[in-house]
Amino acid sequence: MIEPLAVLSSPALLEALAAIEHERWSHWQRYLHSRCERAADGSLVVPAELVARWEQQMATPYGRLSEPEKESDREQVRLYLPVIEAALGERPT
């Protein structure tokens, strides 16, 4: 029987999760870029109100986030769960 830790540390699972992470990051970057102003030199300027909001969120422990903020984090985690569940389900018994 393959140990759960061996499954969870497999290169295939790592690559599948890394692909999801890249998609999550790409989605965030598209959103961030859409909210910023592009300067003449190509740099992006983040509006001050977004900086303030995101800095407050960064400084807030998960347990103290608002319910909509927590749900946003849960939505992201739900992207990873099917891959983890599939990896654990493939373990021979």
Give the three-state DSSP class for 40: coil
Q: Is the pLDDT of residue 93 over 70?
A: no
Q: Write out pLDDT tens, residues 41-70.
A: 999 999 999 999 999 999 999 999 999 999
pTM: 0.79
Predicted local distance difference test score (pLDDT) of residue 83: 94
Contacts of 43 (CB under 8 A, 6+ apart): none
Predicted local distance difference test score (pLDDT) of residue 92: 46
Say which range, 26-35, 58-67, 68-77, 80-89, has the weakest mean pLDDT: 80-89
